[in-house]
Amino acid sequence: MAVYTLGSINLDHVYRVPHLPQPGETLAATDYTLGLGGKGANQSVAAARAGARVHHIGAVGPGAAWALEALQAYGVDTGHVLTGAVPTGHAIINVDPQAENAIVLFAGANQTISEAQVIKALRDAGPGDSLMMQNETSAQAEAACIASEKGMRVAYSAAPFSVEALRAVLPYATILLMNEGEAAALKSALGVFPDCDLVITKGARGAEWLSAGAEPRRVPAFPVTPVDTTGAGDCFSGTLIAALDAGQTPDQALRRAAAAAAIQVMRPGAAAAMPLAEEVDRLLA
């Protein structure tokens, strides 16, 4: 079994600020780091460090070789990541002392992924494999359709939230992954939750798994003091799908994902903060 991620690869410019900027305000940052990010890359790293065999499908621009080397160092296969002329996507991330963040994204090369690239990447995939996606790339609906026809699990993180993008993917989705705000926007747009499984993260109040005709599954959050919440949802999602890929039950996968996210938020950064499987084992023990 394997996990394929159709996902963004971003260069994360992270600024520590005394508070999140207000309109028209200029702030002096107290610290700056440059690192690997993007919801797709984050989820790939989280899943790989959780023990899954991960293949990333994506695109970068010139000068991004270090980002691919970083993905490979985390155990992610980058054979289906293409390098083109469009600049690599990047994010401007402000983080305040309470670990809250505000992010501005530039999609760049993430929007150059083609259906042909996805077809080639998923050529050997089949039942038992998973496709993770987020709303930060092109070719989402095409990839979801291809994966569904192959009998793969299709896990879609509906973020940044767009009802149009969600409607295009929904007919093929096995699991929707979203936070409370995104879930509320989904229900407002559709009137009801869809029939596929829905996993909703609630920050310090844990997470729940909703399945049609079944009682909700819930997991509490582990009580920790966060340092940086950037990438916490991606950590949860990547770990959850890796656990399901390994044959764990939804309840086991939820608890494992909650533990991984608790560790991740106690560290600065996004991809670099994703925990190893043995670290999660120790917390669960």
pTM of full prediction above 0.85: yes
Residue 270 clears pLDDT 90, i.e. is over it: no
25 domain-assigned: no
Mean pLDDT of the residues in the chain: 95
193 domain-assigned: yes
Show the tokens assigned to 239.
Answer: 């770990």
Q: Is 257 exposed, middle or buried (0-12, 13-18, 19+ CB in 10 A)?
A: buried
Q: How confident is the model at residue 99 (pLDDT cuts 50, 70, 90)?
A: confident
131 domain-assigned: yes
Q: Identify the bridge partners of residue 138 per DSSP, sorted by sequence position.
A: none
31 domain-assigned: no
Mean pLDDT (whole number) for 160-186: 95
For position 155, which CATH number holds? 3.40.1190.20
User: Looking at residue 178, what is its pLDDT?
Assistant: 95
Domain that includes residue 133, residue range? 3-9+38-88+109-284
Q: How many folded domains does the chain comprise?
A: 1
Q: Identify the bridge partners of residue 37 per DSSP, sorted by sequence position.
A: 10
97 domain-assigned: no
The two beta strands, 89-95 and 101-106, are: antiparallel
174 domain-assigned: yes
Q: Running DSSP on this structure, what letter comes out for residue 283?
A: H
Residue count of the chain: 285
pLDDT in tens, 47-64: 999 999 999 999 999 999
Q: State how far the Cα of 33 lies from the Cα of 11, in Å rounded to an integer.
A: 10
124 catalytic? Reply is: no
62 domain-assigned: yes
User: Looking at residue 103, what is its pLDDT?
Assistant: 87
User: Looking at residue 212, what is its pLDDT?
Assistant: 87
Mean pLDDT (whole number) for 119-144: 97
Element (H, E) at 67: helix 65-73
**Cα 31 vs. chain centroid, distance in angstroms?**
25
Q: Running DSSP on this structure, what letter comes out for residue 172?
A: G
32 domain-assigned: no
Catalytic residue among 197, 234, 245, 251: 234
